[in-house]
Structures are given as structure tokens and as C-alpha cells.
Amino acid sequence: MIYVDTSVLVPMFTKEPESERVMCWYAACTDEIASAVWCVTEFASALGIKQRTGQIDAASAQAAWQQFERFCANDLQLMPVEFATFNRAAAMTLDASTGLRAGDSLHLAAALEINAKSMATLDGVLAKNAKQMNLLLIL
């Protein structure tokens, strides 16, 4: 199973510099993919930020949201986040040497919780920490 964080999901549904790379990866992906249910809120936040900064308009945000919802319903296993996972993420975030922010530590803790074999991320800090936790990096 491949754990996908939101940094990969956003360019799947909005135009970003990494969109083509992400779509090529996804088209070739044969493994099951999963993410923590947290990615839904994080994806919505990204759309809101893009609207507030003028990167996309409301109609584009709504279209991206609808495509994302279909993707979640059909192609992405959304995993619940348990209290223990939040605690594991908090411990990672408390360790300043990791450089992890709260959301990224939650993604990493969730990936470890579901025993993902690999992680797809475009976030350099998350990738570094995932590698240290023996997750194979994709992308």
C-alpha cells in the first residue's frame, strides 16, 4: 500500500508545477493508495488558500473539490486517525530535529500506523523523515 499525502493530491486536481509528474505517477500506479481522512480537511484548506491568493477562482475550486470527492470515493482509501496516531504525530512534532509540522507528522504517523510500504509526497521535510522511518519514497 502507498500512503499519499496532500502535497501529491493538490496537484492532481489543480494546476501546479508538479501536476504532470504526479499524473504520470498516478497513471502508472498499480498499488492501492491510502491517506488519512485528515487529507480531506487539508485539501479543502489548500483550495481556500488558492482562492484567497488569486491562484484559482471559486468555480475552479468547486470543480477541483468535486473531482477530489470522486477520487476519494473510488480510488483512495481514507483511513481513520486514532488517538494513538495523534499522540505519535505529536511526539514527532515535539522533536525539533525532525523539522515536521503538525500536518506532516500526522501523515507520517498515519502511514506508519497502516503499515504502508511506501509514501508518495512532494514535501522535502516529510520525505526525509519518511525515509528515516524506512518508508520507500515515491515521487
Q: Tell me the per-residue pLDDT of 7-40, one tens digit each, with 9 for 90 and over.
A: 999 999 999 999 999 999 999 999 999 999 999 9
> Residue 138 pLDDT > 90, yes or no?
no
Q: Could you tell me the pLDDT band of residue 45, with boundaries at 50, 70 and 90? A: very high
Q: Between these two residues, 138 and 57, which has the higher pLDDT value?
A: 57
Q: Tell me the per-residue pLDDT of 68-97, one tens digit each, with 9 for 90 and over.
A: 999 999 999 999 999 999 999 999 999 999
The third-level CATH classification (topology) of the domain covering 2-138 is Rossmann fold (3.40.50)
* Edge-to-edge strand ranges of the sheet holding 76-79: 76-79, 33-36, 2-4, 118-120, 136-138
User: What is the average pLDDT score of the chain?
Assistant: 96
**Rounded to the nearest 5 degrees, what angle is found at the Cα of 114, between the Cα atoms of 111 and 116?**
60
End-to-end CA distance of the chain: 15
Domain limits of the chain?
Answer: 2-138
